[in-house]
Chain A
Amino acid sequence: MNGRPALDRFLQTDPRDVGCAEAMDALAVYVDLVAAGAPAEQRYPGIAAHLRACGPCGEDFEALLAVVRDAGD
């Protein structure tokens, strides 16, 4: 039953998760750090936890990071 790990991952919650509002407030700072190769996840573990768990915020993060990386090429 290979669905168990997927269900388990879906139900996992990280107590460091800061939620959408705080993650979105700091998104530009976080993206600049990631784009620069800085340790964004270590500096902002609560935001990293949220972006892993929240589909919409994770998608916004990936989209903004792609834009910034393209602009830097």
Chain B
Amino acid sequence: MIPVNSVVDEVPARLDPESAEWVRVLAVAGPQREAALTRLHGTLLRIAQREVRRRAPRLQITGPEVEDLAYQAAADALIAITGKLGQFRGDSRFTTWAYKFVIIEVSAKIGRHFWRRPAVPLDAEDWDRLPDRFGFEPARVSEWRDLLAALRRAVDTELTARQREVFVAIVLNDVPLDAVALRLGSNRNAVYKMMFDARRKLRAALAANGYLDHDDSRRS
């Protein structure tokens, strides 16, 4: 049984009618709320199943694991939605706000699932993978050898130990960012910031040595 969120004492005034109805029904204990929770869970589960199945082949998730992940994601999303109902202010539609939780839960659970795979190294360094990672053609190695050697030097000399660890895991070992965050006891935002700073430093170093143009503030 999911407890009613006692923080929700009134429905925000600017909600669209459908969103207002969701908040009104979910905020008050009773059969209407139970029916709404069942309906919402069913929708969350369908979204989770579709999303896990879409990501599963790339992540080597198969069989009952797909369904398990989807059920866990839907259940945890429902708890998050009811627990945070008082934070919903109607800036978006209620359903979009709610569905975001199940997408986030799927991402988080897939990140955890990644480490169930055998022999995934966090810190092994296979620099031979770098050319393929960015699509450099082996037949034209004479054209890119110096550039990638400069990149490797910059990784060694410009990055902090933590930035280097994250760069190696994500770029060389192809570990998903969420899985790196989990292994480091960190979070997506912090690991992304580390990679952001690492990318900026590496590009500046390559530009300073003439390997790339000086336009690192370019906006796309």
- Which A residues are within 8 Å of any B CB, using their own CB? 1-4, 6-8, 10-17, 19-21, 24, 27-29, 31-32, 35, 49, 52-57, 59-60, 63-64, 67-68, 71
List of B residues within 8 angstroms of A13 by Cβ:
196, 199-200, 203, 216
List of A residues within 8 angstroms of B178 by Cβ:
56
- Chain A residue at smallest Cβ distance from B95: A71
Task: Offer 5 A-B interface pairs, CB within 8 angstroms, sorted by A.
Answer: A1-B144, A3-B144, A11-B202, A12-B216, A28-B92
List of B residues within 8 angstroms of A1 by Cβ:
136-137, 140, 143-144, 147
Contact of A3 among B97, B104, B131, B219 (CB under 8 A): B131
- Given known pairs A28-B96, A56-B177, the reply for A4 and B51 (CB within 8 Å) is no
List of B residues within 8 angstroms of A64 by Cβ:
96, 99-100, 103
A57 to B187, CA, bound (A): 13
List of A residues within 8 angstroms of B219 by Cβ:
14-16, 49
- Counting chain B residues whose Cβ lies within 8 A of the other chain, the interface size class is 35 or more
- Distance (whole angstroms) from the CB of A55 to the closest CB of chain B: 7
Interface string of B200-212 (1 = CB under 8 A from A): 1011001000001
- Given known pairs A3-B137, A19-B192, A20-B189, the reply for A12 and B103 (CB within 8 Å) is no
Contact status B217-A15, CB under 8 Å: yes
- Which B residues are within 8 Å of any A CB, using their own CB? 47, 51, 54-55, 91-93, 95-97, 99-100, 103-104, 106-107, 131, 134-137, 140, 143-144, 147, 151, 176-178, 187-189, 192-193, 196, 199-200, 202-203, 206, 212-213, 216-220
- Chain A residue at smallest Cβ distance from B142: A1
Contact of B135 among A6, A35, A60 (CB under 8 A): A6
List of B residues within 8 angstroms of A21 by Cβ:
189
A28 to B131, CA, bound (A): 37
A2 to B176, CA, bound (A): 25
- Given known pairs A3-B134, A4-B144, A27-B100, the reply for A14 and B220 (CB within 8 Å) is yes
